[in-house]
Structure formats: C-alpha cells, structure tokens
C-alpha cells in the first residue's frame, strides 16, 4: 500500500510509493485524469491487432488440421494426419536440420563480421561515414533481387568463374549452385553479405555507448588492443549483442527469398529449409493443410530457438554487468 506523507509546512502532500519514489499531488491528479479515460478507447487498437494479426494466424493454423486445397471452401477435418504426413516425410527432417545449421552458421559469421566492421569503422577514418553507408547498403536492397544478382555472379559462365580463369585458377572453376555443398555455402555467403550491414550498425550503436575513458584507462594500464577488446569492449557490447544475435537468428531461420532466388531449394533439395518447404507445400502443391502443419512446426522451432537464445543472452548480460 502507498502511504500519505504530509510535509512539515503542510503545503505539499506526497504519496510515497512502495518503491520509495514519490509523486506530487499534481502528478497524481494527472494520473487520475488519465484514469478517467474510458477503457473502451483501447478497443480499436486491440481489435486491429486481434483481427489483423492474431485471428488470421489462428485461422491459418486451423488449416493444419484440414485437407483444404486452396480452391473452393470445402475442407474436411483430418485431425493430426497432416502432422503425421509431414513428419514422416524425410524431406522435413532434412529441412529442419538444414534450417537450424544454416541459421547457426549465419548468426556466427554475420555477428563476427559485423563486430569486426563496427570496431574497424569506429576508428577515426576520414572515409568512415562513406564506408558505413557502403557496408549498410546491401541491407536496403530487395532480398529477391540480391539473390538473382548473386545467381548471375555464381553461374557457371558468370563473373566468379571468369575471374578464376583470368587469374590462372581455372582448375577451381565450379558449378557453384549445383554442388550440394557449394550451393548451401552460396546461400550463407549471400545472407551474410546482405545482413552484415545491419549487425555492423547495431554494434556501432553499442560501441558509441561505451565511454572512451574506459578505453583510455585500459591503455594507461598497458592493455594491448586485443586485451582491451576482450576485457573492456566485448563485455560492454553484451546488450547490442543480444539484439543483433536474436535478430539475425530470426532472419536466418526465416531465410526464404535468398534461397528461392539463388537455388530454388536445389540441387536435389540440398538447400530446402522449413521456410521453402512451407511455401512449396502450400502454394506450389496446393496442400494448404500440410503447408500449415509445417508452418506451425516452423513457428515452434523459431520460437523455441529465439526465446531460448534471448534468455541465455540476457543472463549473460546480467552476469557481465555484475
């Protein structure tokens, strides 16, 4: 319970809150005014979110338990048959593991490169603003267009192979996008190329919040660049890292345009992920039920991984701040 306290001159009444802070009477009256706002003012906002976001998601989820084909309104309840079907399909298992491995590799590489760029471009270079803009630029491009550009670059008669031949490395010429290993690596490269700008910006913001005095103090104590980074900069980047890692994990798990544009899921399904499987089942094959079942599995995978990772990173933040 809050308690009322009267000042000795009895001119001002404070209400002491449980947390020890105090609110003036003026603020209290302002809060009372706010309290008089009718509760139903929230209806448009809440209704919009419910109707436009949650209701379609729930409705979409119900298709997972039907045999709806996308044509007409006729659908029959099939229970968990769609889940049984997609889980018994070997393609789903492969797609799940590929999704997770691709996302993990992406998160590691894009964050390492992002931190490296941020640290490098924090230095007092004359061209740092230009360089920051250039590195951020790919993030602003259309994902599908980017994938098509890279498809051209990596084509057998494309610039990469032409360059290899030109510098006398013709023996390294590859059909990059039709090798199962190189194709998935190509997807990873394109993802990293596109999202490095984002992580760089997040880490730059994190670096800006670190006091230069700490850096200078470490220098006075004789710390090398590596020691300063390891013991001063890196721990203080923890909040930025939580944001960057969580965001990139979600982007990595949901990568779709880059895969469809670059490899179409091939060769022989070696770049199929859950996101591309959902699209294929739903819109290519017209199996809305199986597609929705896969989408629900996908949502669970994304939620578990991203929430789990966020919890771990938050704990790390708290540990480092102690």
Partner 1 sequence: MITTSSGTRNEARRRAIRAVALTAAVAAGSVGLSACASSASDSSNSTLTMAMMTTYKPGLDKLIPQFEKQNPGITIKPTYYSPDVYAQTVPTQFTGGNGSDLVYLDAGTGTQSVARMGAAGDLADLSDQSWVSTMYPATKANYEVKGKVMARDLGISSLASLSYNTDYFSKNGLAEPTTFSQLLDLCASISSKGKIPIAWAAGSQAVNYNDVVSLASNTLLGGDPGWLQKKLSGSASFAGTPGWRQALQQVLDMKKAKCFSPGASSVTLDQMLGQFASGQAEMMFTYGGLNAAVLQQAPQLHVAMFAPPAETASDTWLQVQPAGGIGVWSKSQHKAAAEKFLDFISGTTQSRDLASVNQLISPQDAVANKLPDMYKGLLPYFQDKKTLNCDLVVSIPNSTEMTNDSGASIQGLFTGQKTIDQVLGDMDSAIAKKQ
Residues in the chain: 322
DSSP-assigned letters across all residues of 236-289: HTHHHHHHHHHHHHHHHHT--HHHHHHTTT-STTTT--HHHHHHIIIIIS--HH
280: contact with partner 1 by CB under 8 A: yes
Which position among 235, 243, 286, 299 is part of the footprint of partner 1 (CB under 8 A)?
286
Residues in 16-45 at the binding interface with partner 1, rule: CB under 8 A? 40, 43
* Only segment of 114-122, 191-199, 237-245, 264-272 that touches partner 1 (CB under 8 A): 264-272
Binding mask 205-244 for partner 1 (x = CB under 8 A): ----------------------------------------
- Which of 212, 249, 251, 204 is closest to 232 using CA atoms? 212
* Only segment of 101-109, 130-138, 199-207, 267-275 that touches partner 1 (CB under 8 A): 267-275
159: contact with partner 1 by CB under 8 A: no
Kindly state the number of chain residues that form the binding site for partner 1, as judged by CB under 8 A. 32
Evaluated on CA atoms 132, 137, 143, 147, the torsion sign reads negative
Smallest gap from Cβ 140 to partner 1, in A, equals: 24
Residues in 98-127 at the binding interface with partner 1, rule: CB under 8 A? none
Which position among 42, 58, 166, 284 is part of the footprint of partner 1 (CB under 8 A)?
284
- Which of 141, 139, 95, 94 is closest to 113 using CA atoms? 139
Smallest gap from Cβ 190 to partner 1, in A, equals: 15
Strands, sheet with 3-6, edge to edge from the N-terminal-most edge strand:
3-6, 13-16, 22-23
Which positions lie near partner 1, rule CB under 8 A? 40, 43, 69-74, 85, 151, 155-157, 175-180, 264-270, 280, 283-287
């Amino acid at each position: 319970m809050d308690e009322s306290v009267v000042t000795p001159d009895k001119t001002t009444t404070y209400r002491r809150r449980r947390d020890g802070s105090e609110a003036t009477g003026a603020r209290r009256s302002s809060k009372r005014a706010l309290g008089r706002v009718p509760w139903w003012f929230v209806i448009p906002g809440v209704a919009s979110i419910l109707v436009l976001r949650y209701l379609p998601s729930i409705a979409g989820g119900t298709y997972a338990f039907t045999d709806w084909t996308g044509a007409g309104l006729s659908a029959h309840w099939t229970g968990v048959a769609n889940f049984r079907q997609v889980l018994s399909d070997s393609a789903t298992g492969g797609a799940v593991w590929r999704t997770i491995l691709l996302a993990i590799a992406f998160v590691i590489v894009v964050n390492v490169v992002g931190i490296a760029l941020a640290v490098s471009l924090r230095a007092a270079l004359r061209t740092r603003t230009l360089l920051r803009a250039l590195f951020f630029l790919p993030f602003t491009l259309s994902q599908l267009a980017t994938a098509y550009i890279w498809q051209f670059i990596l084509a057998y008669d494309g610039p990469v192979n032409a360059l290899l031949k030109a510098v006398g490395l013709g023996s390294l010429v590859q059909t990059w996008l039709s090798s199962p290993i190189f194709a998935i690596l190509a997807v990873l490269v394109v993802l990293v190329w596109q999202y490095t700008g984002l992580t760089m910006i997040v880490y730059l913001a994190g670096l800006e919040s670190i006091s230069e005095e700490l850096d200078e103090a470490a220098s006075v104590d004789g710390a090398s660049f590596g020691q300063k980074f390891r013991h001063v900069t890196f721990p203080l980047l923890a909040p930025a890292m939580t944001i960057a890692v969580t965001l990139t994990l979600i982007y990595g798990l949901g990568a779709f345009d880059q895969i469809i544009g670059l490899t179409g899921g091939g060769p022989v399904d070696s770049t199929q992920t859950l996101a591309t499987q959902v699209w294929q089942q739903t819109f290519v094959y017209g199996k809305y039920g199986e597609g929705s079942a896969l989408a629900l599995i996908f949502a669970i995978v994304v939620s578990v991984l991203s929430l789990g990772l966020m919890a771990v990173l938050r704990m790390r933040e708290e540990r480092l701040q102690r």
